[in-house]
Amino acid sequence: MMTYLERARAKARALIEKGSATLLAVESSCDETAVAVVKDGRQVLANEISSQVDIHALYGGVVPEIASRMHVEALSPLYERALAASGLGARDIDAVAVTFGPGLVGALLTGVSFAKALAYGLDVPLVAVNHIEGHVSANFIADPSLEPPFVCLVASGGHSHIVNVTRYGCYELLGRTVDDAAGEAFDKVARVLEIPYPGGPLLDKLAETGDEKRYRFPRMHTEGKYDYSFSGLKTAVINQAHTIRQNGGEIEAADWAASFRCAVVDALLDKALLAARDTGAERFALAGGVASNRLLRRETLRRGTEMGLKVFMPPASLCTDNAAMIGAAGFYRLMNGELAGLDLNAQPSVRLIEE
């Protein structure tokens, strides 16, 4: 008798032969539970998401235990909704893709367990997807013409990477943050302005009405040519705010937000575009939650196009956590014959590229 994995391998070979597959994708790495149905890595048939931010906002940040419990409650209904929205039946699903890391271990485990049970129940291949690779792959959904090679700036709540996507599933790390991620810096500075969690999107909105030249913040210094460091900037901005307030002064919140946003976006793009130029890239893409930042999007288009780069960015809804991006990344892993077994475990600190 064939084992599950042997049957999955045989099915995967047939799908690779056909060059086509419909994936059901699951994402639960942080505070968003999401299930999507994606055909051939590019066509989104359903993209269901259930956000927990309202609950975590009460605590000023993600509470891991609450996140895990809420994922468990949300997964089955989201799966039903996604299938219904796709117009497909469970038997039309060719493979299951799931985020296995990086993220919160308990949160990841809920999605991984769900996906394993589903893959086993449907008797289809299981594909393990790195969350960061998912973010990068959102670009394949947004623009069907995009193919590697391209340079991608991935900026999220936990990561800030500049990667060279040399082939599907192949990444060269050009630069990364040595301390805080860009999204983390946005969230922490937002707290000083008493903007509720998650601060990034609201700080961005506030910044739209502010004067970015009003306040001066320090420039970034790092050893690596393409590396980031947001901790110094974040601390300087927070300390400066405390000093002004201690001296009885007031902070003009919109101007403060605009000046800080401008400093982060300049820093992100200076290095990412330098890396793109030095590697001779013709295409440049944005990814991750911070890629929904309005100024980052405008400046990437302006500066990237000026340099002669073809610029790509997913719509804001595909920049923040979602399962469609996991389905896109999973398709290319599947086509590469990279299957997971039922012993798949969550890997909370897994990297995109071994350093």
Q: What are the backbone angles phi and psi of residue 328, rounded to the nearest 5°?
A: -65, -50
Q: Which is nearer to ligand KG4, 184 or 212 (CB)?
A: 184
Q: What are the backbone angles phi and psi of residue 228, rounded to the nearest 5°?
A: -110, 155
Least distance CB 200 / ligand KG4 (angstroms): 2
186 binds, among ligand KG4, Zn ion, none (CB under 5 to 8 A by kind): ligand KG4
Segment 278 to 337, residues that bind Zn ion, using CB under 5 A: 321
Residues of this chain that bind ligand KG4 (CB under 6 A): 30, 135, 156-158, 183-184, 186-187, 198-201, 204, 288-290, 292-293, 320-321
Segment 64 to 123, residues that bind Zn ion, using CB under 5 A: none
Task: Please choose, from the candidates 37, 130, 17, the residue with its C-alpha nearest in 3D space to the C-alpha of residue 81.
Answer: 37
Q: Which is nearer to ligand KG4, 12 or 155 (CB)?
A: 155
200 binds, among Zn ion, ligand KG4, none (CB under 5 to 8 A by kind): ligand KG4
For residue 63, the tally of other CB atoms under 10 A from its CB is 17
Q: Which is nearer to Zn ion, 22 or 160 (CB)?
A: 160
Least distance CB 30 / Zn ion (angstroms): 7
Pairing outcome for strands 150-155 and 160-167: antiparallel
Counting residues that bind Zn ion (by CB under 5 A) gives 2
Least distance CB 326 / ligand KG4 (angstroms): 12
Phi-psi domain of 340 (left: phi exceeds 0; alpha: psi -120 through 50; beta: other)? beta
CA distance 119 to 123: 6
Least distance CB 342 / ligand KG4 (angstroms): 26
210 binds, among ligand KG4, Zn ion, none (CB under 5 to 8 A by kind): none
Is there binding between residue 255 and Zn ion (CB under 5 A)?
no
Under a CB-based contact definition with an 8 Å cutoff, are residues 71 and 26 in contact?
no
78 binds, among ligand KG4, Zn ion, none (CB under 5 to 8 A by kind): none
Q: Which is nearer to Zn ion, 31 or 321 (CB)?
A: 321
Segment 135 to 164, residues that bind Zn ion, using CB under 5 A: 156
Q: Which is nearer to ligand KG4, 175 or 289 (CB)?
A: 289
Q: Where are the alpha helices (DSSP H) in 199-309?
A: 199-207, 231-246, 253-278, 294-306
As a dihedral over the C-alpha atoms of residue 111, residue 113, residue 115, residue 118, rounded to 10 degrees, the angle is -140
Identify any residues that bridge with 25 across adjacent strands, giving them in sequence order. Answer: 36, 97
Least distance CB 94 / Zn ion (angstroms): 25
CA distance 176 to 190: 23
Least distance CB 242 / ligand KG4 (angstroms): 22
Least distance CB 100 / Zn ion (angstroms): 14
142 binds, among Zn ion, ligand KG4, none (CB under 5 to 8 A by kind): none
CB-side neighbour CA atoms (13 Å) of 48 = 19
101 binds, among Zn ion, ligand KG4, none (CB under 5 to 8 A by kind): none
Q: Tokens 């101007």 sit at which residue? A: 255
Cα four-point dihedral sign 138, 139, 140, 144: positive
**Which residue ranges make up the site for Zn ion (CB under 5 A)?**
156, 321
